[in-house]
Each structure stands twice: as structure tokens, then as C-alpha cells.
């Protein structure tokens, strides 16, 4: 009985959320010469939630993320972020890169503050903000270190702190954990769940790992290639209430992972 109630509540919540989308992609196409990377793709990203873009390689998930970031221009279609159309990069979005994209000649402190530096925030102010986020991501004491002195996982924490410190509504994460080792990645996934719960931000998360997508997402958009389209949207209902350590043993988690694999495996060469 109690179970049913929570499910009904979650259902209500999702109906409510669908009316409020932080990012809304409508009829977006992207061509590279004759190659159609994305074709007539529409997708909504509910505010305050984490949406994964999942699919085989070459399905255009990173292309879509970069179009939303304003780094690439769509051939056709429109992106709305908080209701206004995207014409380029903006202060409402921050990007976390797969290869971290840190300045190798700058300290952790300057790297984290770099987004604010480019936005013209005064030095003392931006460094105060950076120090706070360095602490938040667990890198306190490494402010003066340089990227080459850090492990891969620590470097991505710097990249994450930089994206958080500009306080954007929307966080765009392009396979952020794919370049770190398995154990660090698990820790990151748990931390990400806490981040989604505590920060009132919308997360767009590109991944090629089915397990990772199901573990961290409120909503999973399965993208299929040639030409790229959204084939399915999955919304796990009961996983958010679970403790982060027991999700991987949950029947719903296992069922979703299996069904995604069933639909994806014909596309894997």
C-alpha cells in the first residue's frame, strides 16, 4: 500500500515536471555535408532532474549536447533554455568535458575560477567562490597544485568545480566519468546523486554506459543512430528513493538495464 502511494506520488511529480522544462529541444537536425548526424530530434529536459543521453557510439549524443551548449549550430530546429532560444554559449549553461579541459599551466584555484574569470568577476571574489567549490568537491588543500600533479579523478573534480562555480542552471556533462578508473567512477556516480539532490540544477548527462545511465538518471533518452533519433524515453520511478548503495540490487534497476541492452544490442557492431 505504501509502495503504491509513493509510486503514485512519483507519477504526479513527473506530470508536474513535464510542464516545466529547463531545456527543450525541438525538431533539431544537424548535417555535416551529406552526413546526417541528427535528424528531426525533439526532447525535453525537466527542471531539477538528471536526464541521460544514452546510445551506441556515433548516435550523435555528444553532438546534441554541444548544440545545446551553443558550441555547435544546428542545421535546423530550435533549442530553448529557460524559455529563450539558444544562439551561442550562455551564462545559464556550464559544460563538463570528457577530457577535463583544464589549463595545464594554471593552478587548481585558477582553473576552478576560470569560468568566472572569463565572465569578468573580480579576482578576490572569484577566488573566494572557487575555494568554496574546491572544498565541496573534496579537493581542499590542492588549491595550489597543478593539473599534472593530480590523478584523473581529481582532475575531473576540478572540471566539475569549475562548472559549479559559475552557478549555471543547466549542467552539461559529456561522458564526464569515462576517462577515470572504475572505482573512481563509482564514487563519482554516488556523488552525482547527492549533487542532483542538493543542488537545484538541471543535469544533462551523456554516457555510453547503460548501468551508469540507469543508476544516476531521473530520465533516460535512448538515442539510436543513422539517422539519430530518440527511440525511447525511460523514467525509473522507484530508484530515487533508494539508498545509493542499494540501487544496483533493485529489481527495477536490473530490469531497466536488461531492457535497454535488448533494444541497443542490434546496433552494436
Partner 1 sequence: MKVFGVRLPAMSSLILWGLLWEVFGRSGYSFFVPPLSEVVATLFEIIGTSAFQKALYETAYAFCSGVFFAIVIGIPTGILMGKNRLVDELLLPWVNIFLSAPLTALVPVLMVLFGFGMKSIIITTTLFAIWIIILNARAGVMQINRSLIEMATSFGASSWDAFSKIYFWAALPEILGGVRIGIIRAVKGVIIGQLLISLVGFGALFELYSNNFLMKHFWAVLIVLFALAFTISEFLAYLERRVSYYAAKR
Q: Name the residue nearer to partner 1 (CB basis): 17 or 169.
A: 169
| Long-range contacts, 242-250 (Cβ 8 Å, 24+) | 244/190, 244/193, 244/194, 245/190, 247/215, 248/211, 248/215
Under 8 Å between Cβ of 222 and 257: no
**Chain centroid to CA 147: how far?**
22
Residue 166 in the binding site for partner 1 (CB under 8 A): yes
Rounded to a whole number of angstroms, the minimum distance from the CB of residue 88 to partner 1 is: 8
Residue 72 φ then ψ, to 5°: -125, 150
The mark string for 8-37 relative to partner 1 (x by CB under 8 A, - otherwise) is: ------------------------------
Grid cell locating 134: 574546491
Q: Name the residue nearer to partner 1 (CB basis): 105 or 261.
A: 105
Residue 176 in the binding site for partner 1 (CB under 8 A): no
Grid cell locating 185: 567512477
Q: Name the residue nearer to partner 1 (CB basis): 94 or 222.
A: 94
CA-based angle 193:199:204, to the nearest 5?
65
Q: Name the residue nearer to partner 1 (CB basis): 202 or 219.
A: 202
Q: Name the residue nearer to partner 1 (CB basis): 179 or 257.
A: 179
Rounded to a whole number of angstroms, the minimum distance from the CB of residue 70 to partner 1 is: 7
The mark string for 75-114 relative to partner 1 (x by CB under 8 A, - otherwise) is: --------------xxx-xxx-xxx-x-xxx--------x
Distance CA 1, CA 6 (A): 9
Q: Name the residue nearer to partner 1 (CB basis): 19 or 87.
A: 87
Would you call 205 helix, strand, or coil by DSSP? strand
Q: Which stretch binds partner 1 (CB under 8 A): 50-58, 67-75, 180-188, 217-225?
A: 67-75
Q: Name the residue nearer to partner 1 (CB basis): 91 or 125.
A: 91
Under 8 Å between Cβ of 151 and 128: no
The mark string for 180-219 relative to partner 1 (x by CB under 8 A, - otherwise) is: ----------------------------------------
Would you call 61 helix, strand, or coil by DSSP? helix
10 Å CB burial of residue 178 (0-12, 13-18, 19+) is: middle
Instruction: Estimate the share of the chain in helix, then strand, then coil, as percent rounded to the nearest 5.
Output: 40, 25, 35
Grid cell locating 215: 543508476
Grid cell locating 214: 540507469
Rounded to a whole number of angstroms, the minimum distance from the CB of residue 236 to partner 1 is: 29
By CB under 8 A, the count of residues binding partner 1 is 26
Residues in 117-136 at the binding interface with partner 1, rule: CB under 8 A: 117-119
- Contact residues for partner 1 (CB under 8 A)? 66, 69-71, 89-91, 93-95, 97-99, 101, 103-105, 114-115, 117-119, 146-148, 166
Amino acid at each position: 500500500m505504501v509502495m503504491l502511494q509513493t509510486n503514485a506520488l512519483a507519477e504526479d511529480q513527473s506530470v508536474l515536471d513535464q510542464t516545466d522544462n529547463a531545456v527543450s529541444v525541438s525538431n533539431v537536425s544537424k548535417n555535416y555535408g551529406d552526413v546526417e548526424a541528427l535528424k528531426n530530434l525533439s526532447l525535453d529536459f525537466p527542471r531539477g532532474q538528471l536526464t541521460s543521453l544514452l546510445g551506441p557510439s556515433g548516435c550523435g549524443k555528444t553532438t546534441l549536447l554541444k548544440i545545446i551548449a551553443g558550441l555547435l549550430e544546428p542545421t535546423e530546429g530550435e533549442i530553448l533554455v529557460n524559455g529563450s532560444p539558444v544562439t551561442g554559449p550562455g551564462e545559464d549553461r556550464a559544460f563538463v568535458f570528457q577530457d577535463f579541459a583544464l589549463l595545464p599551466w594554471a593552478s587548481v584555484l585558477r582553473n576552478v575560477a576560470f569560468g568566472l574569470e572569463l565572465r569578468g568577476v573580480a579576482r578576490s571574489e572569484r577566488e573566494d567562490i572557487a575555494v568554496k567549490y574546491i572544498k565541496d568537491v573534496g579537493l581542499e588543500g590542492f588549491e595550489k597544485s597543478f593539473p599534472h600533479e593530480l590523478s584523473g579523478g581529481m582532475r575531473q573534480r576540478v572540471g566539475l568545480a569549475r562548472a559549479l562555480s559559475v552557478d549555471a542552471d543547466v549542467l552539461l556533462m559529456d561522458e564526464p566519468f569515462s576517462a577515470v578508473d572504475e572505482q573512481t567512477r563509482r564514487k563519482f556516480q554516488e556523488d552525482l546523486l547527492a549533487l542532483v539532490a542538493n543542488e537545484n540544477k538541471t543535469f544533462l548527462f551523456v554516457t555510453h554506459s547503460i548501468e551508469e545511465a540507469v543508476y544516476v538518471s531521473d530520465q533516460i533518452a535512448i538515442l539510436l543512430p543513422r539517422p539519430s533519433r530518440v527511440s525511447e524515453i525511460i523514467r525509473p520511478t522507484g530508484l530515487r528513493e533508494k539508498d545509493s548503495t542499494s540501487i544496483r540490487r533493485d529489481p527495477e534497476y536490473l530490469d531497466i538495464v536488461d531492457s535497454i541492452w535488448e533494444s541497443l544490442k542490434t546496433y552494436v557492431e
